[in-house]
Chains A and B, each alone.
Chain A
């Protein structure tokens, strides 16, 4: 089982050197490559786990829902998937005379919670692709990951962070819902743009002509984001905020599902405290390239090379309010420690991504994603322990 980067170096190398010891084994073993971006395998004997990214979320979502709703889940999920499907057809008038479609992922996450929303929206996307030809069958995995998984999580985090402990009928919840809708669809679009943008770097024919999506990150990101910041984001914002406002007037019980869960976990003190943090991280993640535009150096983040370079020393002096670093002396600890630790993504520049800004964003997203995954895993395990304890008591 290989990651995409390893596979890119590994498989061609051994295929090209069949005489070396071990080559026989490597070349003839079945290999699984985990990648969201690859849609096909350029290597013989290799299967692409295209759905690998969405699969663990579907799995956890299935388990959670099973626990939460037990037998009720089958009809309820079906009905909600149908609901999500219908929402995607609504033609919403936007300020300025255009119209837009919403995905409904944010409102589904607010009412059902993220796990229920992941399943319902994924099913709606699958039916769209299979029966109505919208979206492509091989893209169901990627679509579900972007819209259902990323969209639902961002929506519920933003909504809970902004809404806080406010009353179910508070207008703060309407604002929270609007923000959740707007940010969730934009996060989904951004992740999608990344997936499009890396394709021409990875998939070209012998001449270097792109085989799949032809646009690099420099085109894909602005092209996706302009449409979503301007149109799709607004559609999602109006629908999410509007529905929450409507439910406040007519069916407040529907809003209590996720709010109650929030209140419960507040007693345990595991999730509530971190929710705000999530949102801050997400915001910092999006804003991280601003760091490159800011003048000067990141204070305290100097490497050994920067102490050796005169221009960099000047920058350090300025950043340290005139305190010049000792002449000719890279701090010794930095020299020794610096050589010990090789970061997997040195200097935040992902090796296969040439553009610095984009690499920065990509690294931030990856890093944050890793942290979030760790926390989610922790949360899932902690929940299980709690439930077990509850069962034995």
Chain B
């Protein structure tokens, strides 16, 4: 969905495009996972500390009433990425571009149609650039870029199971965390099944499928996936039951704060509080 922008070169039929979208999702999360093993600053921290800090920074950026505060949070995020040894352009470039195109489409008209003092006029078209419109467009773009950068920073420096576990710090019930974790696993399984089905069809096909047939194919694929989901859900339940599952959920909790965390906590707290202080003025 969001990341299709940089994959536009293969304008094939709908089967090819759906396969691309599915594979790209796989690629993206595999790419993200490789950095969590590296030795960098964020990788050293306790997942709970990281989770709360990133959430705090996202909220700071969302709450700020001044563009420069949002920009400062953005710089902070870049700094964290740098000292966590994440290649900034390679990792964030496509994400930023996708976000820029998506949010830009929404934000762009605001520059001209928001009432406010005129900054400049576009030659020939005679459109007035409104100061308030420009400001709100910058806000919208910057906020979404900052938010997505921070959340990817967390995902790239933390194994996803740890991210999920750390969610319990903010009071998300264990059961929800477990369901989220299982869902994440099944997503890969079903991405694979969907991709296999489309590829099998693609390999037996010559020429272009008429739109009507393509829609039938898509609906049938969804239907098969639906039946499979039911089957899988029941199988997994039986498997869990035979291993002693009685409706209660336990997870291993091996998180322990280390010295680096005790340094990081006041530091992050300081950044978030300063940001909120200036942002809400």
Contact = CB atoms under 8 A, between A and B. Distances in A.
Interface stretch (A7-15, A235-243, A264-272): A235-243
B274 interface: no
A75 B215 contact: no
Interface in B141-173: 144, 147-148, 151-152, 155, 160, 163
Contacts of A72: 233-234, 237
B1 A209 contact: no
Interface string B120-142: 00000000000111011101100
Given A75-B236, A205-B65, A210-B136, A86 B227 contact: no
Interface in B99-119: 99, 107, 109-110, 113-114, 116
Interface in A247-277: 247, 250-251, 254
B50 to A, nearest CB: 13
B135 A79 contact: no
A74 B179 CA distance: 6
A188 to B, nearest CB: 16
Given A79-B236, A138-B58, A214-B136, A93 B186 contact: no
Contacts of A130: 151, 155, 163
A131 interface: yes
Contact of A40 (B63, B182, B246): B63
Interface stretch (B20-28, B37-45, B82-90, B258-266): B20-28
Interface stretch (A119-127, A304-312, A318-326, A333-341): A119-127
A99 interface: yes
B194 interface: yes
B225 interface: yes
Given A74-B182, A83-B190, A254 B58 contact: no
A40 B116 CA distance: 24
Contact of A78 (B131, B183, B218): B183
For this complex, into which size category does the number of interface residues on chain A fall? 35 or more
Contacts of A41: 63
A381 B241 CA distance: 32
Contacts of B204: none
Interface string B58-79: 1100110100000000000000
B241 A90 contact: no
B2 A78 contact: no
A79 B218 contact: no
Contact of B14 (A92, A129, A136, A247): A92
A104 to B, nearest CB: 8
B136 to A, nearest CB: 4
A262 B236 CA distance: 28
A107 interface: yes
Contacts of B186: 78-79, 81-82
Interface in A72-105: 72, 74-83, 85-95, 99, 101, 104
Given A42-B280, A214-B107, A247 B223 contact: yes
A36 B113 CA distance: 25
B268 interface: no
Contacts of A200: 114, 136
Given A131-B155, A239-B219, A242-B216, 12 more contacts: A41-B63, A76-B237, A82-B186, A82-B229, A85-B187, A137-B55, A209-B116, A209-B131, A211-B136, A215-B109, A246-B220, A246-B224
**Shortest 3 CB-CB contacts between residues of A and residues of B:** A242-B219, A209-B132, A246-B223
